Amino acid sequence: MIDLTEQQLTLRAYAHEWAVELAKHSFELERAPDLVHDLLDLPGMVFLARTPVPDEYDRDPILLDGHRYSGGSMERVTICEEFAAADAGMMLAAPGPSMSGVLVSQLGDKAQQEWFFTHVLERPTWTFFALTEPARGSDAAALETSLTPDGDRLLLNGAKRFIGNAARASSGVVFARVKPGPLGVVAVLVETRLPGFTATPLPTVGLRGNQVTDVRFDNMEITHDRILGAHLSPTRRGLLGAVRGLNKLRPGVAALGLGIARGAYEYVSAERRDLTSWERSQLDAMGRSIGAVRQLVRRAATAADADDPALGALASAAKSRASRLAEEVTLEALGFFGAGARLQHPMLDKYARDARAVEYMEGTRNIHHLNVFQALVQRKLAG
Ligand SMILES: Cc1cc2nc3c(=O)[nH]c(=O)nc-3n(C[C@H](O)[C@H](O)[C@H](O)COP(=O)(O)OP(=O)(O)OC[C@H]3O[C@@H](n4cnc5c(N)ncnc54)[C@H](O)[C@@H]3O)c2cc1C
């Protein structure tokens, strides 16, 4: 059993309070994702916008009862579950360093880190992370966006799809190919104000706050100093280098699924008091499944914080199990309210729509099952 420390409990209590406050605006945000600009002064948004930033770049850190949020994986899954139990779309609409921050911390040199984090702390700033392409989702290593030399500069060309927050962002990390093969992919820091960048929000059913976007790069000029990890060996930069960072983030995505499931479960518990004995046993079973998946998510987070070699497989197991849980629990929860449930209980309808989107974020269940299977075959994970 993995329990929270006192520090993590403090963080959870704050995150809960902030998330409940933000969720009062959930449906407005769904209708008009730009509403997020009006919510930036709320404490939850302030926190998400400013964290996590490495100690050396944050001279005025947010302290919660004297504790400083480190952005470690156990802390991340704790806040992700709390925010998602209220509204995952709201959390994903927030400005902040987010996934790009993790990659810049991991792959960037000192100057790149200084530039990126100073910029993020100046004012609420959205960032984006662009890996997926229209024809390359699960098969991301075969991506086609190109970064080609042109005199003393580089030109970025190509298209990305389903990129969260890209239309609001001022900077982001883009994966692009400089030569064939897995070692031929680099990650570059991009500023959206520069010519050649276009971002068009896509209509979506779930997680609408995240505003996923089609992005195009048309002869966008990139300077050599914006390639992340140029000081590292080819196996430690680009997509291969990013895998470790993505594995560390994945328990957080799993926690979004967990939180959505918990939100739906708590909704039924609060709104349906007169349960039949069969319904009571069904609700209890939902609660037990949520508890079990929470332990798996925390196990993956603990592995991330300990740099455990089993992290990749554990993070895949947690993500795949949590996204399934979210879908199963939200649909079962709707079943407690009969045929009109989706119209009469819009919050439950929202949980069910958001749950489906979690299936795709950071890779689908099929791909994560393949990862777990490979780890079992290679004995990197105990059965
Ligand atoms: C809300 C949301 C936010 C997102 N945010 C971002 C973001 O910020 N940045 C970003 O880069 N991307 C983002 N994505 C994209 C996400 O990473 C992709 O949707 C995901 O990787 C799947 O790619 P795809 O949609 O092209 O599906 P495909 O790869 O086309 O897959 C379609 C189906 O085929 C299955 N499949 C594919 N290959 C195999 C295989 N080898 N074996 C078995 N089954 C297979 C998949 O499991 C899936 O069921 C986001 C997506 C969503 C929904």
Mean pLDDT, each 10-residue run in order, the chain (383 residues)? 96 98 98 96 97 93 92 96 98 97 94 96 97 95 96 96 98 96 93 98 97 98 95 86 89 98 98 95 98 98 95 97 98 97 98 98 96 92 72
pLDDT in tens, 169-215: 999 999 999 999 988 999 999 999 999 999 999 999 999 999 999 99
Ligand 1 pocket test target in 99, 126, 132, 171 with most atoms within 8 Å of CB: 132
CB 363 near ligand 1, within 6 Å? yes
pLDDT in tens, 51-93: 999 999 998 999 999 999 988 999 999 999 999 999 999 999 9
Specify the fold of 127-228.
Butyryl-CoA Dehydrogenase, subunit A; domain 2 (2.40.110)
CB 364 near ligand 1, within 6 Å? yes
CB 212 near ligand 1, within 6 Å? yes
Q: Do domains 6-122 and 238-377 have the same CATH topology?
A: no
Span from the CA of 100 to the centroid of ligand 1 (angstroms): 19
User: What is the position in ligand 1's atom list of the atom closest to the CA of 363?
Assistant: 21
Q: Answer for the pair 120, 53: CB distance below 8 angstroms, yes or no.
A: yes
CB 138 near ligand 1, within 6 Å? yes
Ligand 1 pocket test target in 364, 371, 374 with most atoms within 8 Å of CB: 364
Ligand 1 pocket test target in 103, 162, 168, 367 with most atoms within 8 Å of CB: 162
Q: Whose CA is nearest to atom 51 of ligand 1?
A: 361
Q: Considering the chain, what is the average pLDDT of its residues? A: 96
Q: Whose CA is nearest to atom 19 of ligand 1?
A: 360
Distances (CA, A) of 161 to 130, 139, 142, 377: 8, 13, 15, 33
Nearest to 185 by CA among 177, 193, 197: 177
Specify the fold of 238-377.
Butyryl-CoA Dehydrogenase, subunit A; domain 3 (1.20.140)
Coil, strand, or helix at residue 275? coil
User: What is the domain partition of the chain in residue ranges?
Assistant: 6-122, 127-228, 238-377
Q: Whose CA is nearest to atom 52 of ligand 1?
A: 361
Burial of residue 33 (CB within 10 Å: 0-12, 13-18, 19+) is buried
Specify the fold of 6-122.
Butyryl-Coa Dehydrogenase, subunit A; domain 1 (1.10.540)
User: Who contacts 373 (Cβ-Cβ below 8 Å, separation ≥6)?
Assistant: none
Q: Answer for the pair 119, 171: CB distance below 8 angstroms, yes or no.
A: yes
CB 347 near ligand 1, within 6 Å? no
CB 209 near ligand 1, within 6 Å? no
User: What is the position in ligand 1's atom list of the atom closest to the CA of 165?
Assistant: 8
**How far is the C-alpha of 240 from the C-alpha of 140, rounded, in Å?**
11
Coil, strand, or helix at residue 34? helix
